[in-house]
Amino acid sequence: MKMSNITSEILARFFEGRTTSEENNAIADWIESDPANQDTFNRELQFHLMLMHMPVQEPQKKPRRTPLALYAGLAASFVAGIILCWFLAVTPLRDEASKMVAFHTDPGQRASLTLPDGTSVELNSGSTLRYPAVFARGERRVRIEGEAMFDVAKAADKPFYVETFAYDVKVLGTRFNVEADEDRGLFSTALMEGSVAIHDKHDNVITELEPDQVVTLAEGRLIKRHEENIGARYRWTDGIINCSGLSFEELMRRFERAFGVTIVIECETVPDISYKRMKVNVCDGISHAFAILQRTSDFTVEYDDTTDTYHIR
């Protein structure tokens, strides 16, 4: 096969793992022959990565998967394997492996994405996930700013690390929620399945979690507790806010993230939440959520449309 015959269609088949060995060799020669070809390859790669990371807009309900989204999900497993092999074999591709991808959700938006190793991530609104285009041989590292739910693909010889501003979370294969907000000094990890270890920045193990345990940073210390059916509390991935066990301030913070607004509490006495099993569906809107709370809590709400801010009085 001639190098001049490398087209977008052939590169697309390469990313899907459907090229022949002859075509693979031609692609490698084509990349090394001209820096412009390297640029073309990079653009095509970013396009396919974008297809695998299509965000889900909120507060609308999650749409049915389109053929394009279905194609993206199927392509992910092929891309991870074939790209890894070639990045280790060809110098230009190896350089690409060191590049970081930053995926961000705007306020009021959530997104689902699949990482190159097959790990599934639900990204909450106003959050940023950073990860390499291709994971290194010995480990998998990502960084979260905001909140995300991880369902990590198992790989016993390749631990998965979630880095945050405060601590790092190490896993082999599990489902857990991480929240990290450096501006507010918030860090927490909740475990649904498997096991995780919380490490400091010197890679020392601080504590380990078992299912239905959550660890929270409070006044410079990590506090661990057991919580029955912990998965029910983290229903934000389904567009539901579970109010059980939350203070009014914590609930307002979750409203801010879910609805993409600013809430200022100006009450002399912070209202109590009387409902013990209250759940808020984000699709119903923030006005409906406030109305439910006001049935048993004494406060008023004023909205400033110039700043998109709700004032609680």
pLDDT digits (tens, 9 = 90+) for 98-139: 578 899 998 888 999 999 888 999 999 999 999 988 787 788
Burial group, residue 159, by CB count within 10 angstroms (0-12, 13-18, 19+): middle
**99-238 CATH fold:** Jelly Rolls (2.60.120)
DSSP alpha helices (H): ranges in the chain?
8-15, 21-33, 35-52, 67-89, 91-97, 248-259, 286-294
Name the CA dihedral angle for 28, 29, 35, 40, rounded to a multiple of 10 degrees.
-50
Comparing CA positions, the residue from 7, 138, 21 lying closest to residue 86 is: 21
Average pLDDT over residues 221-246: 86
Helix axes 8-15 and 21-33, enclosed angle (nearest 10): 120
Indicate if the pLDDT at residue 223 is higher than 80. Answer: yes
More confident: 227 or 277: 227
Token readout for 176 is 């857990």
Domain ranges across the chain: 1-98, 99-238, 239-312
What is the DSSP pairing of strand 240-242 with strand 279-281?
A: antiparallel
| Pair 191, 169: CB distance under 8 Å | no
- DSSP summary character for residue 106: -
Whole-angstrom Cα distance, residue 36 to residue 200? 43
More confident: 207 or 75: 207
Average pLDDT over residues 33-51: 75
Comparing CA positions, the residue from 2, 46, 24 lying closest to residue 90 is: 24
Computed over every residue of the chain, the mean pLDDT equals 80
pLDDT digits (tens, 9 = 90+) for 254-297: 899 889 899 999 988 888 776 667 788 898 899 998 888 888 88
Comparing CA positions, the residue from 61, 49, 180 lying closest to residue 127 is: 180
Q: Is CATH 3.55.50 the right assignment for the domain spanning 239-312? A: yes
Angle at 222 between CA 257 and CA 195, to 5 degrees: 85
Token readout for 259 is 């609805």
Average pLDDT over residues 188-213: 93
pLDDT digits (tens, 9 = 90+) for 48-85: 666 655 554 444 444 444 444 444 444 444 444 445 44
Percent of the chain exceeding pLDDT 90 equals: 35
DSSP line for 127-164: -EEEEESS--SS-EEEEEEEEEEEEPPP-TTS-EEEE-
Angle at 284 between CA 281 and CA 285, to 5 degrees: 105
Token readout for 219 is 């006044």
Residue 48's pLDDT is: 65
| Pair 4, 25: CB distance under 8 Å | no
List Cα–Cα distances, 292 to 30, 58, 241, 252, 280, in angstroms. Answer: 63, 21, 13, 13, 9
Residue 67's pLDDT is: 45
Whole-angstrom Cα distance, residue 283 to residue 88? 45
CB atoms within 10 A of CB 120: 16
Question: Which H or E element spans position 215?
Answer: strand 213-218
Q: What is the pTM of this model?
A: 0.64
SS3 289: helix
Whole-angstrom Cα distance, residue 194 to residue 173? 7
